[in-house]
Structures are given as C-alpha cells and as structure tokens.
Structure 1
Amino acid sequence: MTRFTCESALYFINPHYLTPASGRLREIFDPATLERVGRMSLGEKADVQAAVNAANTAQQQWARVDARSRAARLHELAESIEKAIGLNREVARLMTLETGKPFPEAMGELANCASVFRYYAEMARDEAGKVAGTTQTGSFQHVRYEPYGVSVHIMPFNYPILLMCWTVAASLAAGNACIIKPAESATLCTLKFLSHFTNLLPGLVCCVPGDALTAQLLVQSSGTHAVAFTGGIAAAHAVAVTCADLMKPCVIEAGGSDPMIISKHAPLDVAVAGAVTAAFHLSGQICTSAERLYVVDDIYEAFVTRFVEQTRQLRIGHGLERSEIGPLVSEAARDKVIRLVEDAVSKGARVLCGGRIPQDRPVGWFYEPTILSGVTGDMAILQEECFGPVAAVCRVADFDEAIRRANDSPFGLGASLFSTNLTESMEAAERLEAGMVWINNPLVDNDALPLSGWKMSGIGSELGRQGLDAFRRSKMVIIDHKPRIQSWWYPYPDSVFHNAQGEPENTDFISSHSNVN
C-alpha cells in the first residue's frame, strides 16, 4: 500500500492511498509564507471512474448491512477520531499550512467531528420508515427510507474536515457510499484525516483531489446519485444547474453576507466581544461571518469605539504562532477584499481601523482586520460576500430599520442580534430572513439542528434530521396479506356509468375508487 506523504499526489479508495492516472499536478503553498508545502493531483476521468466503480460496489454491500451493525461501524470511526490525538495534531498542522487557519481553531474543528458520526449512527438506527393509518382494512401501508447510492461531497477550504463530516456521516448512516472532492487549498489535511476511515468497507469512502473539472466529472457521472456542495455562489449555481438537468438531488450551501444587529438593549461588553469574533474569526472566511453590522443610534458611538479598540488588539501572524488573524487563503481572496474596501472608501466610507496590508507582514496574503463606517447601500460590500476580515458598520435609527436593512440582501444564511429585550429577540427570530438566527451567541451550530440557507444562500439542509433525509429517498409500500379482488378493479359494474339523470347509481364504488392515485 502506498504511504501518504505531502509529496505523493495521491487519491484515496478506502483503505488505500493510490497513485492517480492523471498527470495533472498542482503545487501547494503556505498562504502565510508562500513556502511550498507539497503537491496534489488534479483528478481526471480515469481517477473519477475508479472511485465511482469502487464506491458503487461497496455501497451495494453497505446497504445490506443491518442498522445496528452499520451504527457500530460509525461509532468505531468516531472513537478513532476521538482517540488518535497524534494523528489529529498532524491533520491540524497540515490544515494550518494549507489554509492559514490558526492551529487552535484547526484542533477545535477536529474536536467536533466525532459527535456527528455518533449522532447519525443512532438516528438512522432509530427509524427507517413510517407506518401510516390504513385507507383499506387488511392493508399494511408504510414508507421505507432507502439510500440513493453514491453521494458526492464537494468541500470548501475554511472548515474542510468538519463540513465534510457533517454530510459524509449523514450519507453513510443512510446507507450510501461517499466520494469526496476536497478544496484544492485543503487537500493534504483531508487525505491525512481519511486514514481514520479504514475500519469501513473497502471502497465505501473515496477521495479524488482535483479542480473544477474533477468536480464536474463527479457530479455528471451516471454512477453518482446525490451531491452535497459547500462553496461560492458561481460554483454553487453551476452544480445546482447540472443536478437539475440530471434530476439528481443536491444540498447546496452557497455562502452569505450575514447581518448583525446591535440593539440599544444590547449588553455592550458581550456585544463588542461577540462582534469581534463573528466578524474576524478565521479572518472573516466563514460563510456565517458577520459582515454587515447595524447599530442602533442610541449606543452607536459607545459600541463603535470599543469595537475598534478590541479589534486593534487582535494579533496577526502565522497560524502556528500566537495569533488570531492569519492570512487569507489566496492572493485572489485578498484582492477581492482590497477591491471591496477601495470601492466603499471611494463612495464615502471611512476606515476606522485596518484597511491595508500589515507593514510587518509583506509576505503572504495578510490583511488587517478592518472596520468601515458610513457604509451605504450603493457600496458593493453590502451586496457581495466579502469573505475577508472586514466589518461594515451602519448606523440605524431603531430596531425596525435594522431588521429592514438586514433583510435587504440577496443572501439569507445567518443573522444575529445582541439584545436583552425579549420582545426584540422574539421579533428578530420571526422577522429575519435567514436559515439561522442567533440571539446573543453568534456562530454556534448543533448537530441536532438544521443548517440551511435562504434566498441565494442555498438549497436544502445539513445537520439535524433534515440532514439525514437529504441522503435517503422514500418508497411507499402497500402490502395486503390476504389477496382479494378490489371493488374498483376492472371491469366496472354497469351501475357506475352515466345515466339519464346524470348521476351514477353506485356511490360506494366511487368512494372506494377515490383512494386510487
């Protein structure tokens, strides 16, 4: 068996790392130092087909495994993740080198992976269908939940392992096999993490590194049957269109431009600390980052002053150093942030802090955590996903204006509010147009609750029961244990046909016939 190294440019068909047929390679560089970390292959048709063949063979066997045994395998996987501290530290180190994520946050990501496998292992074991009240005596009428077959998982760079586990755990629990296409900027850490999966059936989990072509081949393959995607709007749209053309079910999480409302009833210390974290966590490269802050006039000056003070205390540096703010993942990502800040400033916005490349970090894709004030609706930063360390602060007259402006966006992923007023909290939960709403505690998720996007932010849900249902289909089953000729079967009795009075004579027949599709 080939041993994984950062130089190997391998792909994965459980339990083996394999040399790909593709000759296309990509060098991987640390976004903080621009030093070379390793290389990866860009999967082509032969690599994709090998994974598809292996996954389909494994899935046919996995689907026949009883629910308790399937759950036991997933619990074994969870235990491996929990106990292999040394392996996880190496995965976290690679994640930091590839993506720029601070090492403590990479370790925190891995610490949350095992629980989702345990959660879905038991949920799928708990129920595999539903018995309905019968429409006919002596008829057993129920629905079965069954797997689709092979699911494709196209992953982002920001939470490459945790988000993969969310959908892979649900799909495996439902009885599917999985093929993962990791982000190009998080390939090595993903491949290394997959060594946890070797207790599963051969071929049940595969990983084909690559680019947009690789993803396209996986989505379009007749040997894949469902798709989970997390990434940018343009790629999400392309995946959704392809899935629609093929009538292939998909779960799409396409990002957002999340609003945060700071009410006059906000606990100021908590609101400032929460805003700093929600805006600048992972250098703002989170789909649910607070990019638009709407601060009520009564406390605007006090909030902004302290928001700027605490933001200036954040340490910028390499993810393996003591730092909260690492680099952006690529030069293109930083260029977009620069463009949006320059556009806002040219239209009248004011830079309260940041707004530049740090002078002591000329190498790497660093950008200072930035706060803009005086932001107006004609500025691109309020309409696009920035995905960088920039918080656009808007002064609003009252709570109602804050809600109205928070909803004035093509996105609807998450939204948050800081307030100790119960009426405001309940109204925000009802009126904010987003798949997730946080009151006084932003960015929190729960394995048992769905993560969904409204508007342009996505289709379907991850996590919760909805996350499991995304990877299984229903089959209605009617069983009559005692076969008998039904009253509505052919040939019809003469009494049911139209008569001179325009009414059928046999209404009992009509009643029995109404239960038929």
Structure 2
Amino acid sequence: MQFSPDRPVYFVNPDYRPTTGAQKPVIDPATLETVGTIAAASDGEIDAALTTATAAQAAWKKLDAKSRAKHLHAVANAIEAADFTRCAELMVREMGKPYPEAIGEIANCAPIFRYYAEMARDEAGKVAGMTQAGSFQYARYEPYGVSVHIMPYNFPILLMCWTVAASLAAGNACVIKPAEATTLSTLDYMTVFRSLPEGLVSCLPGGAATAQALIGSDRTHTVAFTGSVAAGKAVAVACAERMKPCVIEAGGSDPLIISQHAPLDVAAAGSVTAAFHLTGQVCTSAERFFVVDAVHDRFVDLFAAKTRALRIGNGLDRTEIGPLVSEAARAKVMRLVDDAVRNGAKAVTGGCIPPAHNTGWFYEPTILTGVTPDMAIVREECFGPVAAICRVKDF
C-alpha cells in the first residue's frame, strides 16, 4: 500500500496499513483548507504494532554493533537518495513553517544516522574501577527493548531522527507517535526505514490517548518525549509510576540579555532570529529580553526596524513568518499580549492579526516594551512571535 494524505493509515515497517479509527481532517493553518485525513490507531492496531516490534527487537539486539551500523548507514543512504518535495509541502501545509525550513529539516537527517551508527560501536562495554584486590568489574550495555518516541510539531522529522537513530543503534525497536499536527509528513517520511528488518520501526498516529496507551503498555520499555511542559510532566509521571526510563525535552521561557557593550547591529539581527524563527514556535526561542538602560532605546529601534522587514504569509510563498500551528495557539499568544498591554506594556510593532492575512492563524511578530517580571507574558510559556523587553538599570 502506498501512502496518500487522503487515506488514514499507520505504518509498520515496511508497510502502510489502513486505520479503522474515527477520521479527522488536517487543516492548513494558512488557508484553512483541508490537506488530508488522519485517524488514531486503534487498540488492536497498537497491539499488532507492538507484537511485531517485540519480535523484531529480539533479533535486532543480537546483531553486533558493526552490523547495526551497516543498517543505519543504509537508512542514511535512503535519505540522501529520496525526493522529499511532497513530504516538505505536507509539513508546510500541516503546521505552517516556510518551505525552505521544512525541506532543510527533512533532507538533513542522514548525518544523524551516520553519527549514531558509528557512535554505537564504542558502547560495547567498559571496565569499571577496582574496589578490592583481585576483583574485576565489567559493565556491559544492553538495549531496553521497545522504545516509544512522542514527537512535537515544530521539528517533527529532525527531532524524531535524533531519538530514533540513537535508539536503533543501541539495539532497540522504535514506535513513533507523531504530533497530530504533523502526522501526514511524518508518515510520508517512513519510507526511509524500509531497508530495516520488518517491524523494527512503526508510526502510530493519535493524540494523548495513543501516547498513554504506548507508555502504559508492558511491552514498551523506554520513552523519548519532546513537547510542552504540561505534556512533559504528564509523560514523566506516567513513566515514573511504571519505573520506565524516559528522556524529556520540554519548552520554556528563555531569556536574552543585551548589555551596554553589545554590538547593537549584531544583537538586533540575532534577536530577530532568536525571537521569530519558526514564528517563535521553538523551545529555545528567546521570549524575555533584558536590555540595559544605556542602550535600551537604540536597541529597540534597530530590533523593531529589522522585525518590520520580515515577510508574513503562506509558507509555500517567499516568507519568513508563517501562521501559528492552530487557532488555539494563536489565541493564547493574543491573550498574553493583550494582558501585557492592559498592564502597561507597549507594542512597538505587531500586537495584532496582520490585515492582509485575516484568513488562517497569522499573528504579526510583536515587540513589547515596558514589560515587568510579574506579567503573565513573562511567567507563562509564550509559544509565538513575541519578544517581551524588560528594561534594567545594569547587570
């Protein structure tokens, strides 16, 4: 079966299989048009994927590191040889990022598999320190078993490859739960794994219930998660209750400091990237700016001028700022900005829906001055195109 955005499927290497769950349309955040259809994997489909993954991992773990490395290099070869035009376009139409960023993310994953292919060769074991005369202590690394990979929407392919490549190299099977907002592009990408043993990699669409089912299963043994702080806490708790190892990468409210000695042209240009890359929907994006009083006004002027030059629009056009991923995401950003303005902050630029883009979930890149640490926009995670500037006397 070939993948088509209009037919809801899940993936168990090397095959796409039709799903039987309730269907859900995928909506383009820039145009509000329907991109395709997805459906959450059913309990039976999850069970079938885990059964196949368990059998595949039992054989995979017996391979030596050199043999597993050869398989991972084959995945890298497939990535380098593939045409990802459709995959990138699907990502743009699912979550809104500019096409050059989407195609760059997707195509540049081959080195990840090559890196972990070779890194795993050095993890066969080690001799530990001797605690008493005549003793010999040796540590040997063993794979966990079946690993679960719960992915975000902002870098759905790149971050998936980071954790999947490492897990495969260590001898595990991988079950991927893509973000609902980037399910189609993730499923389309699965063909790069077809050279691997049958069932070793699976992709099961769904939301929180699917993630809970995978974490709660006694046939999964470790979890890799990237996403929001709230979801990360829930995953960590669920794993802790089962004594199941997990790796959690969550968002935050990241600060950027501009001192009086900063080269302001460089600082302003860097701040545009830090605040507005991917419409601010990045876990490492700068949200809080602490600018020393001596350079505050000049920095704000330069920062605002460069921000106003950013082009807003559909990610398939020539733009730097696409839409936010959903109506709910934009509503939260608007709430935080409106709250800050009501409490004394000033929108130097932005602070509204762009008049030329009132269809879709667009929001102008926004710079707020007069922000204080007690405002909600500082205290809460603002996953959007907003730079909140706090003026400080000195550092």
Same fold (TM over 0.5): yes
Q: What is the aligned partner in structure 1 of residue 266 from structure 2? A: 270
Aligned: 1:148 with 2:144: yes
User: Partner of 2:174: helix, strand, or coil?
Assistant: strand
Q: CA deviation at 1:47?
A: 1.4
Q: CA deviation at 1:138?
A: 5.4
Aligned: 1:226 with 2:225: no
Q: What is the aligned partner in structure 1 of residue 2 from structure 2? A: 3
User: Are the aligned partners of 2:373 and 2:390 in contact in 1 as well (CA < 8 Å)?
Assistant: no
Structure 2 counterpart of 1:244, one-letter code: A
Which structure 2 residues correspond to residues 71-470 of structure 1 after superposition, within 5 A? 71-84=69-82, 86=83, 88-135=84-131, 139-399=135-395
Gaps of at least 5 residues in structure 1 are 400-517
Gaps of at least 5 residues in structure 2 are none
Structure 1 counterpart of 2:4, one-letter code: T
Higher Cα radius of gyration: 1
User: Are the aligned partners of 1:353 and 1:369 in contact in 2 as well (CA < 8 Å)?
Assistant: yes
Structure 2 counterpart of 1:73, one-letter code: H
Structure 1 counterpart of 2:301, one-letter code: T
Aligned: 1:14 with 2:10: no
User: Partner of 2:284: helix, strand, or coil?
Assistant: coil
Query: Residues of 2 paired with 1:350 and 1:47: CA distance?
Result: 52
Structure 1 counterpart of 2:345, one-letter code: A
Structure 1 counterpart of 2:377, one-letter code: I
User: Are the aligned partners of 1:24 and 1:43 in contact in 2 as well (CA < 8 Å)?
Assistant: no
Query: Residues of 1 paired with 2:91 and 2:139: CA distance?
Result: 43
- Dislocated runs of 4+, deviation >6 Å: none
Deviation sequence 1:206-251 (CA, Å, 0-9, x none): 0000011111100100000000111112211111111010000011
Q: What is the aligned partner in structure 2 of residue 427 from structure 1? A: none
User: Partner of 2:140: helix, strand, or coil?
Assistant: strand
Query: Residues of 1 paired with 2:109 and 2:146: CA distance?
Result: 21
Query: Residues of 1 paired with 2:152 and 2:171: CA distance?
Result: 24
Query: Residues of 1 paired with 2:67 and 2:56: CA distance?
Result: 15
User: Partner of 1:147: helix, strand, or coil?
Assistant: coil
TM norm structure 2:
0.98
| Count of residues in Structure 1 that have an aligned counterpart in Structure 2 | 395
Q: What is the aligned partner in structure 2 of residue 434 from structure 1? A: none
Q: CA deviation at 1:83?
A: 2.3
Task: Quote the sequence identity (%).
Answer: 64
Query: Residues of 1 paired with 2:130 and 2:285: CA distance?
Result: 49
Q: What is the aligned partner in structure 1 of residue 38 from structure 2? A: 40
Query: Residues of 2 paired with 1:100 and 1:207: CA distance?
Result: 22
Q: CA deviation at 1:115?
A: 1.2
Query: Residues of 1 paired with 2:128 and 2:229: CA distance?
Result: 40
User: Partner of 1:199: helix, strand, or coil?
Assistant: coil
Aligned: 1:60 with 2:58: yes
Deviation sequence 1:3-54 (CA, Å, 0-9, x none): 110011000000000012x322111010000000000111221111111111
Q: CA deviation at 1:282?
A: 0.5
Residue from 25, 28, 31 that aligns with 1:27: 25
Q: What is the aligned partner in structure 2 of residue 491 from structure 1? A: none
User: Partner of 1:247: helix, strand, or coil?
Assistant: coil
Q: CA deviation at 1:153?
A: 0.5
Structure 2 counterpart of 1:7, one-letter code: D
User: Are the aligned partners of 1:233 and 1:255 in contact in 2 as well (CA < 8 Å)?
Assistant: yes
User: Are the aligned partners of 2:268 and 2:302 in contact in 1 as well (CA < 8 Å)?
Assistant: yes
RMSD: 1.1
TM norm structure 1:
0.75
User: Partner of 1:146: helix, strand, or coil?
Assistant: coil
Deviation sequence 1:365-419 (CA, Å, 0-9, x none): 00000000000122100011100000001111112xxxxxxxxxxxxxxxxxxxx
User: Are the aligned partners of 2:226 and 2:232 in contact in 1 as well (CA < 8 Å)?
Assistant: yes
Q: CA deviation at 1:94?
A: 0.8
Q: CA deviation at 1:112?
A: 3.0
Query: Residues of 2 paired with 1:127 and 1:334: CA distance?
Result: 45
User: Are the aligned partners of 1:259 and 1:290 in contact in 2 as well (CA < 8 Å)?
Assistant: yes
Q: CA deviation at 1:133?
A: 4.0
Query: Residues of 2 paired with 1:64 and 1:137: CA distance?
Result: 34
User: Partner of 2:194: helix, strand, or coil?
Assistant: helix
Query: Residues of 2 paired with 1:134 and 1:299: CA distance?
Result: 58
User: Partner of 1:398: helix, strand, or coil?
Assistant: coil
User: Are the aligned partners of 1:43 and 1:211 in contact in 2 as well (CA < 8 Å)?
Assistant: no
Q: CA deviation at 1:182?
A: 0.2
Q: CA deviation at 1:141?
A: 2.0
Query: Residues of 1 paired with 2:115 and 2:267: CA distance?
Result: 32
Q: CA deviation at 1:111?
A: 3.5
User: Are the aligned partners of 1:102 and 1:319 in contact in 2 as well (CA < 8 Å)?
Assistant: yes
